[in-house]
Every structure is written in structure tokens, then in C-alpha cells.
């Protein structure tokens, strides 16, 4: 082997749609802007349709293909498995990969149930004892503004945390004739807006504040119960060949829940794919005894900060343009004022994962952290299903 080959991290990825394309971009881009201790190689792309996966591999930059993820896991020229498939496949692929000695990056939410997530976490713990690591892909926490928000909380700039408000608003299902997709089938996706986008808000709230959620009370609602089969939706929904008829939506369209955090803070959360006019409106506000933070992903290069220690005549929310070299990640990109985009969080995710693997340290979010989010999702579902009010996490 050459020195480059010895220093390689050979990646095998399962799935090549929306998330697969995004992860491919991140693996290609990370070593070109960050000095990494290991060099990612896009080794093998796996998908069930041979013609489609070969086309995707050529477009996205992968060297080889497989049509069975099991064959991918068994290959000796792959060091890491990246899972970009629907949630019902996460547990089988991740556990098999970890048991085969492969590092794992798995998209969120970790699984479709707490039981699956617990098995995945147990496999990750066992693998880590042998120097094999696993991480869950909550990429939004790598947005520089949110990472800066966490830093300010850690520095005590907000004092005692009292309130957390989180919204994740999309509108791609507001059309009642939008086609049925795997994201609307509970057997494949696990849940709807709650797990798909609400999971991001749960992770972001716990990440920024450093406070775990201890109890929840939730409400779930489905607005459209039947949708046309087949059709194509660009990006989120996937596609299929239409054979007429309709399919039954078996997940929530919207989720609302309140939360109690460790230390006494309280939170309110909303996740919906029916907020007409909102495309990817992920908001987080944190109020403390000494100040407040507010973030909106549709203005992702900015962080609003209120410093209550300032004199009243000068107090007020200020806007931090999170593009300076001193801010998290941004010094590796463009000059100050030249903003980043959605894809950069995934690149930062690769950077942090590769560094953790090289250092022999647990990457974050670990499967243990992702299991915590899974337990919150489950408690919300239990609260909503039983109309029982507070559920402990």
C-alpha cells in the first residue's frame, strides 16, 4: 500500500436519494477544506436497483457498487458504513456493520422503536471496546450558529436556563394530492413529522442547553389520511410508479408537545409538514436568567443574542453574523460575511466523525445520545396515544 492508502477511510454507503446525495457531497468535500487525519474514499455505493445505483455512483463519485447491503458489509475494502435508508432498515444494517468491525454513520432518527435503538446502542458499545465507532447523523447541530449557541451557554452567558422554544415547520405535504411516499408509512419511517423533523429539534434543544428532557406531554395529528399512490416528489418524498388508487397515511402530519428539562427548565415544541409557506423553518429560542438566544435555520448564518447584563439603555437583541474565522467551522471556508448553506452541516459532520475515529474517542452524537432522543419520541407518542398527559422519559 501507498502511504495515502494506509491513511484512507474507505466508505461504503447504503442509499443514494436525498440523504445519500447529501452525504456523498460531504464525504467528497470534507478533505478539500479541512486537514483530516484520515482521507475519506468513496469506495462502494449500495442500492437495490443495479442500473439506478450504477447511475447514482457515477454521478455522485463512488468507485464501485453493490445491490445488497449485506455484501457491502462483508467487503474487506470498506472501513465505514454510512446508512442513508428508511428507518426500518437502520437496526439490521448498523448492527451487522458494527459486528463486522466497520465504523457506522447512521441517519436520524436512530431507529423506528426504542427496542431497535437499544439493540443498536448495545452493538455500538460492544464495538467501541474494539476501537470501532458509531455516530448518529443529527447534522443541524453542526450549523455554526447552533454550535456557537452551545458555546455561549457553556460559557454561562445565559445564566440559568428557564425556557426552550422549538419549531420545525415545513409545507411539502399541504397539497392533499401530493403522492404517498415511504415517509408516510409508519412501518418504514417509524413516525411522521415527529421523528422526521421533530427529532432534530429535540436533539438541538438538548445539545445547545446541555439539559436532557425528563418528561413530555404530546399531541399528534394527521390531516390527510389517504394519498395517491405513485408519482414523483423531488427531494423529500421519493418516487414510485403509479398504479392508481390511494394509500393510507399511517403517521402524524403534525406534532405538538411540552417538555420538562433537567434542572427545572420547561420547553414547547412544534413539528409539522403542513405549515403553508414554510420550507425548512427550524427555530430554537433559549431564555435564561442572564440572556437569550434565538436561531432560525432559514437565516442560518445568524444568531440573535440578548445580554441582560448590559445597561437598560443599550440592552436589546443583537445579530451575530456567524461567519468569522473565530466561529465554529467557518474559518475553513470563505471570508467573513460569505455565508454557508444546508450542505455544510453534513461536511462538518464528516470532519468531526473522522477526527473522532482517528483519535479513538466516542463521536457525538453517539448512539447513546440518539437513543435518548428515541426515548423522548416514544414518550411523546405514548402521551398522545393514551391521552395520558405527562410521560417520563
As beta bridge partners, residue 105 has 82, 135
Q: What is the pLDDT of residue 313?
A: 87
Residues 292 and 305: beta-carbon distance below 8 Å: yes
Nearest to 378 by CA among 392, 366, 367: 392
Q: How far, in whole angstroms, is CA 311 from its chain's centroid?
A: 39
83 phi/psi in degrees, rounded to 5: -105, 110
Q: What is the pLDDT of residue 43?
A: 98
Q: What is the pLDDT of residue 389?
A: 86
Nearest to 271 by CA among 389, 166, 175, 179: 166
Segment (H or E) for 261:
strand 254-261
Q: What CA–CA distances, in Å, run from 353 to 159, 271, 375, 387?
A: 31, 28, 24, 40
In this prediction the pTM is: 0.94
Q: Is 219 exposed, middle or buried (0-12, 13-18, 19+ CB in 10 A)?
A: middle
Q: What CA–CA distances, in Å, run from 71 to 61, 65, 103, 332?
A: 20, 10, 16, 37
Q: What is the pLDDT of residue 243?
A: 56
Nearest to 146 by CA among 245, 285, 31, 52: 285
Nearest to 36 by CA among 327, 332, 323, 326: 332
DSSP secondary structure code for residue 323 in this structure: T
The rounded distance, in Å, linking the Cα atoms of 299 and 297 is 5
Q: What is the pLDDT of residue 129?
A: 97
CA-angle at 299, arms to 348 and 111, nearest 5°: 50
Name all domains of the chain by residue range, CATH numbers in brackets. Answer: 3-137 (3.40.50.720), 143-340 (3.30.360.10)
Q: Are strands 302-307 and 291-296 parallel, antiparallel or unpaired?
A: antiparallel
Q: What CA–CA distances, in Å, run from 177 to 181, 233, 258?
A: 12, 11, 31
Nearest to 205 by CA among 248, 245, 153, 278: 153
Q: What is the pLDDT of residue 312?
A: 86
- Kindly give the confidence (pLDDT) of every residue in the chain, 393 residues in length, as a single tens digit, with 9 standing for 90 and above: 333 457 999 999 999 999 999 999 999 999 999 999 999 999 999 999 999 999 999 999 999 999 999 999 999 999 999 999 999 999 999 999 999 999 999 999 999 999 999 999 999 999 999 999 999 999 999 999 999 999 999 999 999 999 999 999 999 999 999 999 999 999 999 999 999 999 999 999 999 999 999 999 999 999 999 999 975 443 454 444 445 799 999 999 999 999 999 999 999 999 999 999 999 999 999 999 999 999 999 999 999 999 999 998 888 999 999 999 999 999 999 999 999 999 999 999 999 999 999 999 999 999 999 999 999 999 999 999 998 889 999
Helical segments of the chain, H only: 3-6, 18-33, 50-60, 69-74, 90-99, 114-128, 144-154, 186-189, 193, 199-209, 342-359, 367-386
Amino acid at each position: 500500500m501507498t502511504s495515502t492508502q494506509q491513511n484512507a477511510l474507505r466508505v461504503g454507503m447504503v442509499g443514494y436519494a436525498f440523504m445519500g446525495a447529501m452525504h456523498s457531497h460531504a464525504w467528497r468535500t470534507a478533505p478539500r477544506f479541512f486537514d483530516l487525519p484520515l482521507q475519506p474514499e468513496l469506495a462502494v455505493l449500495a442500492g437495490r436497483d443495479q442500473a439506478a445505483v450504477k447511475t447514482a455512483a457515477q454521478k455522485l463519485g463512488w468507485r464501485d457498487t453493490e445491490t445488497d447491503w449485506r455484501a457491502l458489509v462483508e467487503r474487506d475494502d470498506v472501513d465505514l458504513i454510512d446508512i442513508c435508508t428508511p428507518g426500518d432498515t437502520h437496526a439490521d444494517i448498523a448492527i451487522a456493520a458494527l459486528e463486522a468491525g466497520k465504523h457506522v454513520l447512521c441517519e436520524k432518527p436512530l431507529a423506528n422503536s426504542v427496542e431497535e435503538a437499544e439493540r443498536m446502542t448495545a452493538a455500538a458499545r460492544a464495538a467501541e471496546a474494539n476501537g470501532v465507532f458509531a455516530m448518529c447523523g443529527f447534522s443541524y447541530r453542526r450549523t455554526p450558529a447552533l454550535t456557537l449557541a452551545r458555546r455561549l451557554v457553556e460559557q454561562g452567558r445565559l445564566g440559568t436556563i428557564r425556557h426552550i422554544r422549538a419549531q420545525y415547520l415545513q409545507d411539502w405535504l399541504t397539497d392533499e394530492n401530493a403522492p404517498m411516499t415511504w415517509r408516510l408509512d409508519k412501518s418504514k419511517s417509524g413516525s411522521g413529522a415527529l421523528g422526521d423533523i421533530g427529532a432534530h429539534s429535540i436533539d438541538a434543544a438538548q445539545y445547545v442547553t446541555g439539559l436532557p428532557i425528563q418528561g413530555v406531554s404530546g399531541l399528534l395529528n394527521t390531516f390527510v389520511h389517504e394519498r395517491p399512490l405513485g408519482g414523483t416528489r423531488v427531494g423529500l418524498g421519493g418516487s414510485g410508479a403509479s398504479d392508481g388508487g390511494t394509500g393510507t397515511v399511517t403517521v402524524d402530519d403534525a406534532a405538538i408537545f411540552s417538555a420538562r428539562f433537567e434542572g427545572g427548565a420547561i420547553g414547547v415544541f412544534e413539528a409539522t409538514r403542513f405549515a403553508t409557506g414554510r420550507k425548512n423553518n427550524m427555530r430554537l429560542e433559549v431564555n435564561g436568567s442572564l440572556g437569550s438566544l434565538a436561531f432560525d435555520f432559514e437565516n442560518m448564518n445568524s444568531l440573535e443574542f440578548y445580554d441582560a447584563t448590559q445597561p437598560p439603555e443599550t440592552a436589546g437583541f443583537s445579530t451575530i453574523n456567524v461567519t468569522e474565522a473565530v466561529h465554529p467551522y467557518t474559518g475553513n471556508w470563505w471570508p467573513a460575511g460569505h455565508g454557508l448553506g444546508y450542505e455544510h452541516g453534513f461536511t462538518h459532520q464528516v470532519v468531526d466523525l473522522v477526527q473522532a475515529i482517528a483519535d479513538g474517542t466516542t463521536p457525538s452524537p453517539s448512539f447513546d445520545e440518539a437513543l435518548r432522543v428515541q426515548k423522548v419520541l416514544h414518550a411523546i407518542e405514548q402521551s398522545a396515544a393514551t391521552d395520558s398527559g405527562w410521560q417520563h422519559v
